[in-house]
Structure 1
Amino acid sequence: MLEHGGGLLRAAAEYGIPAGDWLDLSTGVNPNGWPVPPLSADSWLRLPQNHDGLEAAAAEYYGSGKLLAVAGSQPAIQLLPRLRAPCRVGMLALCYAEHPHHWQKRGHQLFRLSPDELAAGIDQLDVVLLCNPNNPTGDRFDAALLESWRQRLAARGGWLVVDEAFLDAAPEDSMLPHIGKPGLIVLRSIGKFFGLAGARAGRTSASRD
């Protein structure tokens, strides 16, 4: 993984300032976290189990049962570029750096574009990857526009990959209602909005085809 924030203990040691005296804005994690109840002691004495209520809770919250639990978005970000032969991938010039890093690492040809350039070049790309809203610029894309892009990409066997790690406050823009349609992959994470980054929990949604 790239260095992209969160190294608070190292910074505290380097500058001699206690970790509790820092205001860490580097990770984009909500500092007002979800009120987690105390965990029972036996929570630490067994492995995680299927059908423990996690899938049902996620399906209710996201409004979709077509969800694959992953250890945060990061494993999906690293894996997706391995699932296609080298191709033409478009993304915004400024975006979460892990995305271009892993696509380029797997030999894909990257095109780093402005929002207008990306919209104009859809038909010359095999994969379009967006963070919605974009990190770090805040650019937003409505679901109707993204659905039209998905249709054009899918007609040629292409993908639309949408990282919705920061979209919880605007669910009307989510592409999750379109899950099951060809060529759409949606990434979600609970860490940012709920302030539960230590849980390393996220969701990947896509068609089974």
Structure 2
Amino acid sequence: MLALLPDWLDPQEILEAGSYLILFAVTFIETGLLVGFFLPGDSLLFTAGVFAAKGDLNIVVVAVGCFIAAVLGDQVGFLIGVRAGPALFRRPDARLFHQAHVRRAEEYFEEHGPKTIVLARFVPIVRTFAPVLAGVGKMDYRRFVTYNIVGGLLWAVGITLLGYFAGEAIGEENIDRYLLPIIGVIVLVSVLPVAREYLKTRRASADQSEPVEPPPSAG
């Protein structure tokens, strides 16, 4: 699976090319900027933890740095939603954005905000857009910051430590042998929720498009 990715999206290539700087930059962009939704997140953090187990990186620097980058990324995403939201939704006749979307976002994040901000961390693509929607929906800022920190801690620190302890358990002599299959499984598991939601949306759209037969006329 990873062999299909270009080199600049391969977690190993990213870490070998730029170490800490690129690791933190990719984490920030993938979580905070809308243009970064295609970048590796889970697999990159896990691989960074494995590299730390090999001694190529410092696990404390990796975990703390990725945590800070992830939290700052979501903060930027939230501000993008707050500031760009009014402009995006200003015209009611816009093809993709209108006031109904704003109201829907406000209602959704008022009801599910905390859970969404934390759980979205573990779903590719969704984690890129969740903070922006929180900003558009005018989620309470202090509430957002609190759950942003919790989500960033669980995601960034949790996955890097998972990679670190996996690398320790496998042993340095076997890391290169098992790293690619493990990352492939992580990518597959990460994509499954997105694929499931996509199929549900397609199925719902198909059901709505089916013609409704008129009732038979009497006599």
TM-score by length of 1: 0.26
Higher strand share: 1
Higher gyration radius (CA) = 2
Higher helix proportion (structure 1 or 2): 2
TM-score (norm 2): 0.25
Relative contact order higher in (CA < 8 Å, ≥ 6 apart): 2
